[in-house]
Amino acid sequence: MTTDKTQQQILRQDILGSRRFSNLLWAAIVTIGGVGFLLAGLSSYLKTNLLIVSDTSQLQFIPQGIALTFYGVAGSLLATYLWLLLVWNVGGGYNEFNKETGKVTIARQGYPGKNRQVEVEFPISEVQSVRAEIREGLSPKRALYLRSKKRRDVPLTRVGEPIALSTLENQGAELARFLQVPLEGL
């Protein structure tokens, strides 16, 4: 259990990675489509109906069946990739600001392999400000960055769907207050 003093010294923000409902929905849709096309193509080759919703066994294997099989394999491979992203939680992690140790730690999950977790650590004294970037339009962007003296701006928010403006303002203000640095861009 942490004490009030410890809670005042450490600020930790969890970052949602690829385990979002929208990604789960897309993985399910692509899986259904890919498997459906693959079964339709195989039905035309085997001259046996493998689908519940329609009878594709009467299609000519060349060219319709080959095209359906190709789309089915491509869709199934894409679905496999989407499911693996969900399992690995790519992009998920945390931002930790620790006044006790004087360090900022930004950690994110990557793809499996030698360096699965990407971690950036630097002193709190290097932080100049918290910067909010807000861009509306066709491709909206709402993100928070740490502006540092010795390195480029370090992104703090998740990638993908933009977060609500009020949430961005609250997170930026809370972080700027905790680090005792200015908040830019709002």
- Read off the pLDDT of residues 74-91 as tens digits, 9 standing for 90 and up: 999 999 999 999 999 998
Overall average pLDDT of the 33-41 stretch:
95
* Percent of the chain residues topping a pLDDT of 90: 56
Helix (H), strand (E) at residue 91: none
- Torsional sign, CA 63, 69, 70, 75: positive
Alpha carbon 159 to chain centroid, angstroms? 6
Q: Domains in the chain, ordered, with CATH?
A: 4-17+90-184 (2.30.29), 23-88 (no CATH)
Candidates 147, 172, 186; CA nearest to 11 is: 172
The total number of residues shown for the chain amounts to: 186
pLDDT for res 1: 41
Whether 3 has a pLDDT exceeding 60, the answer reads: no
pLDDT tens profile 96-154: 999 999 999 999 998 887 778 889 899 999 999 999 988 888 877 888 999 988 878 88
pTM recorded for the entire structure: 0.79
Q: What are the structure tokens assigned to 13, written together?
A: 């923000």
Pairing of β 117-123 and β 127-135: unpaired
Which residues contact residue 58 at a Cβ distance below 8 angstroms, ignoring those fewer than 6 apart? 44
pLDDT for res 167: 87
